[in-house]
């Protein structure tokens, strides 16, 4: 979270999606030296820990979807798409070449060339 503090702050303060961080914070701060940072006054039981772990896993998926949606919104008004965002399906080596030659991709545009 150190690398994108502004983006994470938006998620933390998002009423619809911020709850996905709660189990992660609860587990991360379980033994925090500052009692105010702990989510629970008493030590976390084995049952509660299991519930928090399952919730953290589900929360991770929600966090991924949240940031994926944010990346899609980051396309600028001119329609430029960030380099890291693929808009077409990935072409596998054994798929037909998208150029329309009728050859497999690996024998056409995907062929390794030595310079």
pLDDT at residue 67 in the model:
87
In the Cβ-directed half-sphere of 49, how many Cα atoms lie within 13 Å? 9
Task: Tell me: do 107 and 56 sit in the same domain.
Answer: no
Task: Tell me: do 16 and 40 sit in the same domain.
Answer: yes
Task: Tell me: do 57 and 10 sit in the same domain.
Answer: yes
pLDDT at residue 77 in the model:
57
Domain range for 103 is 88-115
pLDDT at residue 69 in the model:
81
The total of structural domains in the chain comes to 2
pLDDT at residue 90 in the model:
87
Render each residue's pLDDT in the chain as its tens digit; 115 residues. 777 788 888 899 988 888 999 999 999 999 999 989 999 989 999 999 999 999 999 999 999 998 888 776 666 556 565 666 666 788 898 999 989 999 999 999 888 766 5
80 falls within a domain: no
Contact by Cβ (8 Å): 99, 109: yes
CA angle 41–33–39, rounded 5-degree value? 30
Task: Tell me: do 14 and 50 sit in the same domain.
Answer: yes
């Amino acid at each position: 979270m150190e690398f994108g503090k502004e983006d994470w702050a938006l998620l933390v303060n998002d009423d619809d999606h911020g709850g996905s961080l709660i189990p992660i914070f609860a587990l991360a701060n379980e033994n925090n030296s500052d009692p105010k940072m702990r989510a629970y006054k008493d030590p976390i039981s084995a049952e509660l820990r299991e519930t928090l772990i399952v919730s953290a896993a589900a929360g991770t998926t929600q966090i991924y979807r949240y940031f994926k949606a944010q990346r899609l919104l980051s396309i600028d008004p001119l329609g430029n798409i960030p380099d890291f965002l693929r808009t077409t399906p990935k072409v596998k080596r054994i798929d037909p070449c998208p150029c329309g030659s009728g050859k497999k991709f690996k024998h056409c545009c995907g062929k390794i060339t030595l310079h």
